[in-house]
Amino acid sequence: MKALVTGISGFVGSHMAEFLLRQGAEVVGTIRNRSRMDHISHLLKDIRLEECELRDPFSVESLIDRERPDLIFHLAAQSFVPTSWNSPIDTIHNNVAGQVNLFEAVRRFGLKAKIQIACSSEEYGQVEPEETPIKETNPLRPLSPYAISKVAQDYLGYQYHRSYGLHVVRTITFNHTGPRRGEQFVTSNFAKQIVDIEKGRKPPVLHVGNLQAKRDFTDVRDVVRGYWLALEKGQPGENYNIASGTCYTIAEMLEMLLSFSDVRIEVKTDPSRLRPSDVEILLGDSAKFRAATGWQPEIPFERTLKDLLQYWRSQP
Ligand SMILES: Nc1nc2c(ncn2[C@@H]2O[C@H](COP(=O)(O)OP(=O)(O)O[C@H]3O[C@H](CO)[C@@H](O)[C@H](O)[C@@H]3O)[C@@H](O)[C@H]2O)c(=O)[nH]1
């Protein structure tokens, strides 16, 4: 069983690779020449890396022709919401063109590969409290260029399945975190600031943005198991929420992180961290996915946050 992971050097990609190796899969991953390798350096003897620019159809076609994978986990993306306001065209082009190139290559070579695509709960966007927990049938009211790019990826998955019979499973993942989470994302950003304060690298002031937003967090290690199950048991063309079913305000998440540290810290709002529009609440209903695959999250949020703090404490 050969599995191709796009974006293998990223946060989720590295955990996906570890999970696939434990399943005994042959793992091939795409990187770009500017990809950081620190998340996968411990895996290099067990995986194969292929340089591929997903925006370039020639690059993708030759990769797919050469590798002919059985499973594709399409995780490569511009995944940080604020970046999408600074460079909306780049985010949309990167995320949408990359996926179209992948689908077209699979289609043209007549591959029977099963493809998981990483859609996002950001697609739901403006959600009213009475519309939670969010089901796959909720309306999509995207609030950022990033969310738009994910809506397009999501519906392209549907369309390529209907038009050409591609085996695409659309996973709509709510927030996820854990060791190696990029430091711009909120859980990791706060954890790193706490560790920097613990180590005396920064004054005891923690900078924050909107603490009122509510998010539904799942551990990345539970998420990648979900992606595997999505291809094992999910129906092609279908979309599935992957979520814990519990949400916290960002303030509550911060309190939890602070409770795992001994240092005294002042919390200060940094206006540059506020967004032009922020999704107020994401609380997911993953009953459809659980019924189809038997998936359920196993790692409690407290442990995820402790492991994340530990990750930053172990960094040089
Ligand atoms: N990044 C960041 N966010 C902050 C901060 N302070 C408060 N927040 C709030 O924390 C929430 C989470 O922000 P992020 O961690 O940046 O994640 P996201 O925008 O919810 O997007 C993540 O989840 C999506 C799924 O819902 C993913 O699709 C996306 O790629 C990303 O992982 C947002 O409401 C944001 O305004 C801060 O200092 N930094």
CA nearest ligand 1 atom 33, residue: 213
Q: Give the model's pLDDT for residue 129.
A: 84
In sequence order, what E strands does the chain have? 2-6, 26-31, 48-51, 71-74, 114-120, 167-173, 176-177, 205-208, 214-215, 218-219, 239-242, 248-249, 266-269
Q: Give the model's pLDDT for residue 235.
A: 98
Query: Which atom of ligand 1 is least distant from the CA of 185?
Result: 15
Backbone dihedral angles phi then psi of residue 224, each to the nearest 5 degrees = -70, -30
- Residue 29 Cα to ligand 1 middle (Å): 26
- Residue 1 Cα to ligand 1 middle (Å): 35
- Residue 130 Cα to ligand 1 middle (Å): 22
Q: Give the model's pLDDT for residue 90.
A: 98
Q: Give the model's pLDDT for residue 35.
A: 85
**Residue stretches of the chain with pLDDT short of 50:** none
CB within 8 A of 203, min separation 6: which ones? 197
Q: Which residues line ligand 1 (CB under 6 A)?
A: 79, 81, 120-122, 174-175, 184-186, 189, 208-211, 213, 215, 250, 273, 275, 278, 282
Q: Which two tokens stand for residue 23?
A: 């399943």
- Residue 281 Cα to ligand 1 middle (Å): 11
CA nearest ligand 1 atom 20, residue: 175
pTM: 0.98
Beta-bridged to residue 177, according to DSSP, are: 219
Q: Which residue has the tokens 């007549």?
A: 110
Query: Which atom of ligand 1 is least distant from the CA of 188?
Result: 15
Distance between CA 300 and CA 314 in Å, rounded? Answer: 21
CA nearest ligand 1 atom 12, residue: 186
Q: Give the model's pLDDT for residue 307.
A: 98
Q: Give the model's pLDDT for residue 34.
A: 82
Over the stretch 243-287, which tens digit does the pLDDT of each residue have?
A: 999 999 999 999 999 999 999 999 999 999 999 999 999 999 999
